[in-house]
Amino acid sequence: MWNKIQQQLGPNHPERLKVARLCIENGLAIRDDGIYLNQIEIPTARIARAAGVDRRTVVEAVRMIHRDRDLRVIFEQLQSAGLSLKGIAKQLGLGVVEITASDPKDVGILAGASKLLADAGISIRQALVDDPELSPEPKLTLIGDSSVPGNIIPEMLKIKGVARISVY
């Protein structure tokens, strides 16, 4: 999916691709010639500032996506996934494990990582998984009810398909 978006927006217009990436990463829908966070319309100037592009680039990216049926189908229905505890985990006393896969399509990464946490007595409060078809650098983020012990890290790295782990 991301490859199609790159093909449609990226080759001649890398700035428009920045707008598309910002929308996908944040669950922002493009519909009715505007950009929305669920039901809240986001001003074009704010999107431009966040993407590091000119406001006119945002307007043209929206028009381009709206004109292409395949892209429109993707972007019209995007929604924010909701609350993420990742940014406030430390303040809440929660543990975070972020896993990058060598191949995000490998089967069993989530199951293996969650089993290791469960075996350590850590209840998973939240699991966030980036879609490998839409996210250029997908990650699996597991947020547990306590900090992650260091002895689990080498075990997680043994899970087939795991390339890198960050714990915080």
> Domain count of the chain?
2
At 28-52, the pLDDT tens digits run 999 987 999 999 999 999 999 999 9
For residues 92 and 65, membership in a common domain is answered with: no
Q: What share of the chain is helix, strand, coil (3-state, %, to 5)?
A: 45, 20, 35
Residue 135 above 80 pLDDT? no
For residues 95 and 123, membership in a common domain is answered with: yes
At 62-101, the pLDDT tens digits run 999 999 999 999 899 998 888 889 999 999 999 999 999 9
Please check whether residue 81 lies inside any domain of the structure: no
The residue to which tokens 């899970």 are assigned: 159
Closest listed residue to residue 47, CA positions, set 64, 69, 30: 30
End residue of a domain, out of 76, 105, 131: 76
Structure-token pair, residue 105: 């399509």
**pTM tops 0.85, yes or no:** no
Closest listed residue to residue 98, CA positions, set 143, 159, 152, 49: 143
For residues 65 and 126, membership in a common domain is answered with: no
What whole-number distance in Å separates Cα of residue 62 and Cα of residue 20? 9
The CATH number covering residue 90 comes to: 3.30.70.260
For residues 100 and 57, membership in a common domain is answered with: no
Residue spans of beta strands (DSSP E) within 43-131: 95-101, 124-129
End residue of a domain, out of 48, 76, 104: 76
